[in-house]
Amino acid sequence: MSHSITVKEKYPPGDFAIWIIIYVELVTFGLLFLGYAFSRRADVALFNASQLLLDQTSGFINTLILITSSYFVVKAVKSITSMDDTDAKDANIKASRHLLFALALGVSFLLIKMFEFYHIFGAGITLSTNKFYMFYIMLTGFHFMHVMLGSFILFVMYKKTKEIGYGFGDYRGIETGASYWHMVDLLWIVLFPLVYIIR
């Protein structure tokens, strides 16, 4: 009779400090999500009417973009963590290809979001227009800044793979950056239905 025992890692992947940041970010965004949801109760008609001006299609495309980008980041991390001490060059080249796709998708997200902001601000909408837009601009603007930082981190990781900078056993950096990027993805997964779909 054979037994298979799955040994769990003691700590999450990457630097432990990033997980403190991730947990704090989750709580911060969680409070904003709940602020939106409970504020909506006070004026459902206003929230529903204001939501009509949002482009659900671009929200949908941006969700697909972030999910796909996260997928490529996982592939990049796997390329690095599964290398042995003889194929560092191949692993870095593979990872750089995946990271480039992930980065391109991150930039696409930013461009689509900027277009959306341009449309919203062009219509004369600001933070003080009404409560819905205050939350919309705050939530998506705050998330936008996280995508910008995440894209910069992806770029730094991409540059390092291009320089064959990750060696055997040296994957803490790429795991740390990847964890941050997945958090950005996780936040958008909740934000998309909350702000764009539920009415």
Partner 1 sequence: MQKHLEYIWATLALLTLFAFLLGYLKLISTFFIAVLLGTTFIKGQLVIDYFMGLNSVAMRYRIIPTLWLGIVLTLIGVAYYLPLTASQ
Give the binding site for partner 1 (CB under 8 A): 6, 8-13, 19, 22-23, 26-27, 30, 33-34, 37-38, 40-41, 44, 56-57, 59-60, 63-64, 67-68, 70-71, 73-75, 78, 179, 182-183, 185-186, 189-190, 192-194, 196-199
- Cβ neighbors of 65 (< 8 A, separation 6 or more) are 105, 106, 108, 109, 112
How buried is residue 4: exposed, middle or buried, by Cβ count under 10 Å (0-12/13-18/19+)? Answer: exposed
Q: Can you read off the two tokens belonging to residue 18?
A: 């990033």
Please, which residue, 16 or 121, has the CB nearer to partner 1? 16
If the CB atoms of residues 65 and 137 are measured against partner 1, the closer one turns out to be: 65
Distance of closest approach, residue 47 Cβ to partner 1, in angstroms: 11
CB of 6 to partner 1, least distance (A): 7
180: its two tokens:
């941050």
**Nearest distance in Å: CB 186, partner 1:** 5
CB of 187 to partner 1, least distance (A): 9
Residue 43 CB neighbours (<10 A): 14
Say which DSSP state 6 is in: P
Q: Is the Cβ of residue 76 or residue 137 nearer to partner 1 in the bound state?
A: 76
For residue 23, what is the DSSP state?
Answer: H
